[in-house]
Chain A
Amino acid sequence: SQTIHQWPATLVQPVGSPLSLECTVEGTSNPNLYWYRQAAGRGLQLLFYSVGIGQISSEVPQNLSASRPQDRQFILSSKKLLLSDSGFYLCAWSDREVYYEQYFGPGTRLTVT
């Protein structure tokens, strides 16, 4: 069966510091991968999605970036965090064919101080 991992689970970082969140998927090949952010009391906002290694689509202009160095690895980064980057970050995967069913990782709660 497929599993999706994210780490760290929680993170407190000062403004201006760098960020790296990692997501890996097991039990599937060539998945579509997604990064979402959920602000407190809000729905999920799609940040990036990837249909293959090195292929990243950005949905929202911001100081975040994403990379997919391996088929089942998706990384969210920032060079300098802003206070507004605080939130709950969720990674998700879907099958390439059954792309409309997305499955979420456990999430990373980021607080920028």
Chain B
Amino acid sequence: EDKVVQSPLSLVVHEGDTVTLNCSYEVTNFRSLLWYKQEKKAPTFLFMLTSSGIEKKSGRLSSILDKKELFSILNITATQTGDSAIYLCAVCLSNTGKLIFGQGTTLQVKP
């Protein structure tokens, strides 16, 4: 059965801290791995990763994929209260295009 597991499930940090969120997967037809940020409502797209070892960056956020060890990490440096959200990891299957989501990591950044 295709599976995506995120850790930790929740995290509380203070402004200025650096956090690392983890996503591991076991799927039979891997196409890509995606990260989303979900605040009050709809998840918003952050990154899509298809190749191992190539870091994607957007401001204070960065992500990298390891297709040998089947995991990805999302780093957030110099966290701000606006980074508080649920971070969702999903794997896209190449045969169907379906997304398999992890449980999400709830991040709370305290002032």
Measuring CB to CB, which residues of chain A are less than 8 angstroms from any residue of chain B? Answer: 32, 34, 36, 41-46, 49, 59, 90, 94, 99-107
Contacts and interface: CB of A to CB of B under 8 A. Distances in A.
A78 to B, nearest CB: 22
Contacts of B34: 100-102
Shortest 5 CB-CB contacts between residues of A and residues of B: A104-B42, A43-B101, A99-B97, A100-B92, A44-B101
Given A100-B32, A100-B48, A103-B45, A43 B103 contact: yes
Contact of B101 (A32, A45, A49, A106): A45
Contacts of A107: 41-42
A100 B45 CA distance: 11
Contact-residue bracket for chain B: 20 to 34
A102 B42 contact: no
Q: Is the interface of B mostly helix, strand, loop or mixed?
A: strand
A100 B31 contact: yes
B104 A43 contact: yes
- By CB atoms of chain A within 10 A, which of B6, B103, B106 has the most? B103
- By CB atoms of chain B within 10 A, which of A32, A41, A43, A45 has the most? A43
